[in-house]
Amino acid sequence: MSDLLTLQMEFMQAAALLIQKVKELGYDCTGGDLFRSPQQAAQNAADGTGVTNSLHCDRLAIDLNLFKDGQYITDDTGHRDLGAWWKTLTPSVPGAQFKWGGDIVHPRADPNHYSLSPDGVRA
Ligand SMILES: [Zn+2]
């Protein structure tokens, strides 16, 4: 099995735990992007809202929309704790790393984005 397929499968299991963690921490969520086509990623990059080499294109990233008492959370509230937990997970492929979008600085922080980076660099 390729490293990519191994990571894609580990990512989905981790995402299931992440969604359960949302509830455990007292929030609710709806799903945002998971898979994104290269064409959409290129459009997002052109719009300044994403990057062309997005891990969504590799099925290694998911966006979660958090809610507290029915209210959509627009900042990193809740995501900070979820991101900290997410980053404690350990992938089986050497060099790979769970990353949280709240740590991204370019093009902008993206708190609802959770990924599994194959090289520990891409987010
Ligand atoms: Zn994302």
CATH number of 21's domain: 3.30.1380.10
Q: What is the pLDDT of residue 49?
A: 85
Q: Is residue 122 part of a domain?
A: no
For tokens 């992938």, what's the residue?
A: 91
107 pLDDT exceeds 80? no
Domain residue limits at 48: 3-117
Report the separation in Å between the CA atom of 103 and the middle of ligand 1, taken as the mean of its atom positions: 12
Give 36's DSSP letter. Answer: -
Report the separation in Å between the CA atom of 26 and the middle of ligand 1, taken as the mean of its atom positions: 22
**Is the pTM higher than 0.75?**
yes
Q: Is residue 123 part of a domain?
A: no
- For 59-78, the pLDDT digits (tens) are 999 999 999 999 999 999 99
Report the separation in Å between the CA atom of 64 and the middle of ligand 1, taken as the mean of its atom positions: 8
Provide the number of structural domains found in the chain.
1
| CB proximity list for 109: less than 8 A, separation 6 or greater | 76, 101, 102, 103
Report the separation in Å between the CA atom of 69 and the middle of ligand 1, taken as the mean of its atom positions: 24
Q: At what angle do helices 79-86 and 3-24 cross, to 10 degrees?
A: 140
